[in-house]
Amino acid sequence: MPEHSAIALVGLDWGTTSLRAHALSPAGDVIDRRERPWGIRQLPAGGFAGAVTAIAGDWLSGPGSPPLIACGMVGSRDGWREVPYLDCPADVAALARGLVAIDTPSGPLYLVPGLRLTGDRPDVMRGEETQLAGGLALAAAPADTLCILPGTHAKWVTVEGGRVTRFTTHLTGELFALLRDHSLLGVPARGVPVRDQPADAVTASCPAAAGDAFDRGLAAARASGAAGLSGRLFSVRSLYLTGSLTAADTLEYLSGLLVGEEIRSGLADRGDVPATAFLVGDRALCGRYARGLAAFGIGDVALLGDTAPAGLWRIARAAGLVACGERPRSTGAPP
Amino acid sequence: MPEHSAIALVGLDWGTTSLRAHALSPAGDVIDRRERPWGIRQLPAGGFAGAVTAIAGDWLSGPGSPPLIACGMVGSRDGWREVPYLDCPADVAALARGLVAIDTPSGPLYLVPGLRLTGDRPDVMRGEETQLAGGLALAAAPADTLCILPGTHAKWVTVEGGRVTRFTTHLTGELFALLRDHSLLGVPARGVPVRDQPADAVTASCPAAAGDAFDRGLAAARASGAAGLSGRLFSVRSLYLTGSLTAADTLEYLSGLLVGEEIRSGLADRGDVPATAFLVGDRALCGRYARGLAAFGIGDVALLGDTAPAGLWRIARAAGLVACGERPRSTGAPP
């Protein structure tokens, strides 16, 4: 365990299915990391407060303990306290100003707000804003860029002038899991032994390295043009029935179809094909997206991994929580 | 019960979840109809043969009993006997030539083959070919037309010169049920009391008459243009979160989104907007599709209802099973 004096910030990434805690050094480096299956709907004894004490109590105890910040669904209607969404455009300074502090047995906990788009295409994110803040810092990204955060609910984010101006959610990961687990398309593969992988990602039940069947799915999605996925999805079944896909390959092909359709749709929605893109999140899943983006002509892609700790650090600094190496005394909204 | 002498043909529409039996007069009219929940995976005691005896034994018993014909999944790999698919293009005469007779305790049963597309976009249908045969006869349809058969696996069928030349399966009904029952999008409506409706149709859990929220979904699908559904599906959630959709309306909106996307995609795939279209199947579901087609500029739409009995009649006549009012003696393939 790191010495207390070496911990400048404790950052929680608290979602629906898991709680990740990070101890950050005065330089903003992650010096310790813990993960528990304590999503906001499956809390341990003692509820939210008990979870914090159990996962990070030793980092937070005693005098001069580091400040505590959290992002993700913990700030949703079903979380510890609902934190209002911020309207776009929004940048790191706006996220810092929007922090909401709540009193906990472990001291004040600063909750990061999510982002909201209003108008005729409303959308929301909660947690991804922090990954974006970290991703852009890590990548020294240009002020104008496309960031994609693959996952259960993938986000396509347009950053302009260092601010999030627009974003769109694609249900790709959830659709993959639904089709694999409950649809006729998943029947052949459900009879095949598969690796034990997370249930909520496009990679679930697929090898980490995408294969030929994945590329066939990508190609089919690309070939569909403006017609899109609707008339292609059943090809998972018909290619299997006609002997062109093995049962074991059906999920790879489905993964390629869905990732390809997300990219096709996302680019059609933008109306252009940017030269570069940033991918934030699980490495294996981002690898599939990089392969997909390359198939659509975007070869200059940066894979950034888990950027939530860096984002929490950046927001905490912008809020002054770690600016002077001291924790602010107020438990209200930070300056 | 009709007199035996009045029954010229017994036609079975035998799918995955139900068995429908029809007694047809010498003029081809349905004079009696029965339905049981004996899909091919949920057979009663006695299996396939027991099901036939139980649902239609009295129509078939005695001398001079009418011939027996069946379409649907009963002829699939998981059915009573697998009947090979016919390649397209195919017409009623080809279906009649492709009948496969099997011996049963109730006499020979003639199974209608499904249709298959090969090439780079393979597809299959089994059961719909019979509905199409009936639909085109009922509607006195032109030789070249677009037929849509909404359902769990909706079919878009191009008929040219009276033959099925191309078709595409859209998973719209299955997707709707998956999203309603298992996804985050279905969560608000799952808390609302809903009418008890079939679980496998786009109309499931929606009122039979489509409402304003359905039209909003259609409009969103149309507005998506070439980008399609991928970036719009989550709007079911974001419109609910932002108070723009009630929990009760979320399924109506989702139904509109999915039906709209199928139509948008189907028309993009064709590359034209035909002046007329034929809808075959459940009346309420076809009503939704008619509303959707009108939103995309196709106002001249015929709704044909359940055309399977008429299709079975037409195929049986083409095979000579009822041509002379007599049943052929052979149990092999009909002439």
Answer yes or no: do B43 and B112 share one domain: yes
- The pLDDT score that the predictor gives to residue A2 is 59
Residue A89 resides in a domain: yes
Q: Give the tokens for residue B52.
A: 């036939």
Residue B271 resides in a domain: yes
Residue A109 has pLDDT above 80, yes or no: yes
Measured in angstroms, the CA of A265 and the nearest CA of chain B are apart by: 4
Residue B158 resides in a domain: no
**In B, which residues are within 8 Å of A184 by CB distance?**
153, 174
DSSP letters along B171-187, please? -HHHHHHHHHHHSGGGH
Answer yes or no: do B177 and B255 share one domain: yes
Answer yes or no: do B177 and B115 share one domain: no
- The pLDDT mean for chain A works out to 89
B229: contact with A, CB 8 A cutoff: yes
Q: How far apart are CA A31 and CA A6, in angstroms?
A: 9
Answer yes or no: do A267 and A314 share one domain: no
- The pLDDT score that the predictor gives to residue A209 is 56
Residue A195 has pLDDT above 50, yes or no: no
Preferred mutation among A230, A261, A270 to probe B, highest tally of B CBs within 10 A = A230
Mean pLDDT, range B173-186, rounded to an integer: 96
Hey, are the CB atoms on A229 and B226 less than 8 Å from each other? no
**In B, which residues are within 8 Å of A172 by CB distance?**
230
Q: How far apart are CA A284 and CA A252, in angstroms?
A: 13
Residue B332 has pLDDT above 50, yes or no: no
Strand order in the sheet with B300-303: B163-170, B154-160, B145-149, B276-279, B300-303
Measured in angstroms, the CA of A210 and the nearest CA of chain B are apart by: 22
Mean pLDDT, range A122-138, rounded to an integer: 93
- The pLDDT score that the predictor gives to residue B304 is 93
Q: How far apart are CA A168 and CA B15, in angstroms?
A: 40
Answer yes or no: do A180 and A103 share one domain: no
Hey, are the CB atoms on A122 and B242 less than 8 Å from each other? yes
Q: How far apart are CA A189 and CA A231, in angstroms?
A: 21
Contacts of A2 (CB under 8 A, 6+ apart): A23, A25, A31, A32, A59
- The pLDDT score that the predictor gives to residue A151 is 93
How many CB pairs (< 8 A) connect A and B?
139
Answer yes or no: do A193 and A266 share one domain: yes
Domain that holds residue B277: 171-303
Q: How confident is the model at residue A107 (pLDDT cuts 50, 70, 90)?
A: very high
Q: How far apart are CA B304 and CA A34, in angstroms?
A: 61
**Nearest CB to A122; choose among B169, B244, B262:** B244
Hey, are the CB atoms on A170 and B116 less than 8 Å from each other? no
Hey, are the CB atoms on B183 and A169 less than 8 Å from each other? no
Is the torsion defined by CA of A177, A181, A184, A187 positive or negative?
A: positive
- The pLDDT score that the predictor gives to residue A335 is 35
B324: contact with A, CB 8 A cutoff: no
Hey, are the CB atoms on A265 and B121 less than 8 Å from each other? no
Convert the pLDDT of each residue in B133-152 to its tens digit. Answer: 999 887 777 778 999 999 99
- The pLDDT score that the predictor gives to residue B193 is 56
- The pLDDT score that the predictor gives to residue A62 is 74
B170: contact with A, CB 8 A cutoff: yes
Answer yes or no: do A284 and A314 share one domain: no
Residue A140 resides in a domain: no
Answer yes or no: do B286 and B223 share one domain: yes
How many structural domains compose chain A?
Answer: 2
Return the closest-CA partner of residue B322 out of B7, B3, B103: B7
Residue B334 has pLDDT above 50, yes or no: no
Hey, are the CB atoms on A229 and B229 less than 8 Å from each other? yes
Answer yes or no: do B116 and B195 share one domain: no
Q: How confident is the model at residue A140 (pLDDT cuts 50, 70, 90)?
A: confident
Hey, are the CB atoms on A170 and B234 less than 8 Å from each other? yes
A247: contact with B, CB 8 A cutoff: no
Please tell me the least confidently modeled range out of A132-141, B252-261, B298-307.
A132-141
Share of chain A above pLDDT 90, in %: 80
Preferred mutation among B171, B183, B267 to probe A, highest tally of A CBs within 10 A = B171
Q: How confident is the model at residue A64 (pLDDT cuts 50, 70, 90)?
A: confident
Q: How confident is the model at residue B221 (pLDDT cuts 50, 70, 90)?
A: very high
Answer yes or no: do A76 and A183 share one domain: no
Convert the pLDDT of each residue in A286-329 to its tens digit. Answer: 999 999 999 999 999 999 999 999 999 999 999 999 964 444 33
- The pLDDT score that the predictor gives to residue B201 is 39
Answer yes or no: do B20 and B109 share one domain: yes
Residue B105 resides in a domain: yes
- The pLDDT score that the predictor gives to residue A3 is 59
Q: How confident is the model at residue B163 (pLDDT cuts 50, 70, 90)?
A: very high
ipTM value for the complex = 0.87
Residue A50 has pLDDT above 70, yes or no: yes
Answer yes or no: do B101 and B209 share one domain: no
B20: contact with A, CB 8 A cutoff: no
Could you tell me the CATH number of the domain that includes residue B99?
A: 3.30.420.300
- The pLDDT score that the predictor gives to residue B2 is 59
Q: Do the bridges between strand B163-170 and strand B154-160 make them parallel or antiparallel, or are there none, so unpaired? A: antiparallel
What letter does residue B59 receive in the DSSP assignment? H
- The pLDDT mean for chain B works out to 89
Hey, are the CB atoms on B231 and A182 less than 8 Å from each other? no
Q: Is the peptide bond before A89 cis (omega within 30 degrees of 0)?
A: yes
Could you tell me the CATH number of the domain that includes residue B254?
A: 3.30.420.310
- The pLDDT score that the predictor gives to residue A120 is 85
Q: List C-alpha distances in Å: B92 to A218, B113, B130.
A: 37, 11, 9
Convert the pLDDT of each residue in A159-183 to its tens digit. Answer: 998 899 999 999 999 999 999 999 9
Convert the pLDDT of each residue in A234-259 to its tens digit. Answer: 999 999 988 999 999 999 999 999 99
- The pLDDT score that the predictor gives to residue A161 is 87
Residue B25 resides in a domain: yes
**Nearest CB to B234; choose among A153, A179, A265:** A153
Share of chain B above pLDDT 70, in %: 89
Mean pLDDT, range B70-82, rounded to an integer: 96
